[in-house]
Amino acid sequence: MIKRRSAAGFTLIEMMVSMAIGLAVIGALIAAYLASLASGRHADALVQITEDAALALDVMRQQVAQAGYSQPRGVAEGGFVLHAFPALAGCAAAGFIDLQAGILSPANCRTGAADPDAPDSLEVAHEASVLPAGSSNGILGGSDSQQPLDCLGNSFSKTHDATTGDDYFLDDSKFYVADGSLVCHGPGNAAGAAVVQNVETLQVRYGMAAAPAGAPGAGQVAYYGIAPPAGSALWGNVVSVNLCVQVRSAAKVLDARAAPTLGGYVDCHGAQRTAADGYMRRTFATTVVLHDKLP
């Protein structure tokens, strides 16, 4: 008589246990992948925010560092003969009324917003030199490659100085925030154009000396404050400028779990805030000393 062996295999319980273990492993792998993906998005967002902020501050820093510069036209009894023009102008929590009005024009600020977080505006002017062998203080271009270019790469016309009787290149740049971008308006373009995206606000504080240039106490910052009134003599006491930009991620990268931690940031006024709309935000600041105010 032939004996038959019972068929070998898995019981239903064993299969269910195996499937449960497999699903747990797959779930862990998926969770790890999603966490890695989210971490990558956060890291990419921080890199983008940092790069945008560095570019925005660098563009403004280059202009502010030269504010008030003028090439000597000769020597008089009181010293060098220079073109006279305001080095800086600005609007606290407001924009400019007329972009075409230069820094030599009368007051050009809209009424300031009640919200202290509303973006400020900044206007910077310096003489752009045209010198040989790359000695100019800016980039040259234009039709003959011997014209200074403004903040948007456009050439611009000279300004006449009735006092000295000659013409010179007055590079007059206006910086402000519009539609989530840092915008610059130069003397060579009819309208401003975005130079850096994802910038939500620009806050400007001015380092004020106790006295104007040439007087005792000049050159030493007594306090930092908002823009003085348009046309005020206090503009002559500005010796440094503190620039702060708030930059956000280009896309929403924060979910409900990440928002309480990665969504936290300190705004330009030093207040702790938490973003609740999925965008990551950070603020960056730099202080620039006005070279023409150095003793």
At residue 106, the pLDDT reads 83
Within a 10 A sphere around the Cβ of 201, how many other Cβ atoms?
Answer: 20
Q: Nearest 10 degrees: CA dihedral of 148, 152, 156, 158?
A: -60
At residue 81, the pLDDT reads 79
Q: Nearest 10 degrees: CA dihedral of 239, 128, 97, 271?
A: -40
- Give the integer Cα–Cα distance in Å for 78 and 1: 131
> Does 1 score more than 60 pLDDT?
no
- Give the integer Cα–Cα distance in Å for 130 and 196: 27
Q: What are phi and psi of 233, to 5 degrees?
A: -65, -15
- Give the integer Cα–Cα distance in Å for 86 and 60: 17
Between the two ends of the chain, the Cα-to-Cα distance in Å is 117
Q: Contact 235/270 with Cβ under 8 angstroms?
A: no
Q: HEC profile for the chain?
A: CCCCCCCCCCCHHHHHHHHHHHHHHHHHHHHHHHHHHHHHHHHHHHHHHHHHHHHHHHHHHHHHCCCCCCCCCEEECCEEECCCCCCEEEECCCCECCCCCCCCCCCCECCCCCCCCCCCEEEEEEECCCCCCCCCCCCEECCCCCEEECCCCCECCCEECCCCCCEECEEEEEEEEECCEEEEECCCCCCCEEEEECEEEEEEEEEEECCCCCCCCCCCEEEEECCCCCCCHHHHHEEEEEEEEEEECCCCCCCCCCHHHHCEEECCCCCEEECCCCCCEEEEEEEEECHHHCC
Q: Contact 277/252 with Cβ under 8 angstroms?
A: yes
pTM of the model: 0.84
At residue 32, the pLDDT reads 63
Half-sphere exposure at residue 250, Cβ-oriented, CA atoms within 13 angstroms: 13
Residue 143 tokens, joined: 């039709």
- Give the integer Cα–Cα distance in Å for 2 and 137: 105
Residue 263 tokens, joined: 């969504």
More confident residue, 214 or 62: 62
List, for residues 66-112, the tens digit of each pLDDT value: 999 998 887 777 777 788 999 999 999 999 999 999 999 887 899 98
Q: What is the mean pLDDT of residues 1-16?
A: 65
At residue 118, the pLDDT reads 94
At residue 189, the pLDDT reads 87
Q: Which of 153-157, 177-181, 209-213, 274-278 has the highest mean pLDDT?
A: 177-181
